[in-house]
Amino acid sequence: MSIDDSKLLYEAMKEEMTSMAKNQVWDLVELPKGVSIVGCKWVFKTKRDSKGNVKRYKARLIAKGFTKKRY
């Protein structure tokens, strides 16, 4: 990854955080006793045009630890 790519990915992360704040995705509260924290991670995606040129960088913050089980 080049330095330019990392700067663009950082901008995509800031854009995602701004969007979540604007849409009031969460409330900051005190953690009750006996409750564990859910971790999170960043997922990055590169959008490309039909010729394969980078069109846009996207970043998504997702919660870790939840899995769907098939029965």
- What's residue 65's pLDDT? 77
Give me the domain span that covers residue 47. Answer: 3-63
Q: What is the 3-state secondary structure of the chain? A: CCHHHHHHHHHHHHHHHHHHHHCCCCCCCCCCCCCCCCCEEEEEEEEECCCCCEEEEEEEEEECCCCCCCC
Residue 30 resides in a domain: yes
Residue 53 resides in a domain: yes
Residue 45 resides in a domain: yes
Per-residue pLDDT band for 48 (boundaries 50, 70, 90) equals very high
pLDDT tens for each residue of 3-35: 678 889 999 999 999 999 999 988 888 989 998
Residue 13 resides in a domain: yes
- What is the percent of the chain where pLDDT is above 70? 87
Residue 51 resides in a domain: yes
Our count of domains for the chain comes to 1
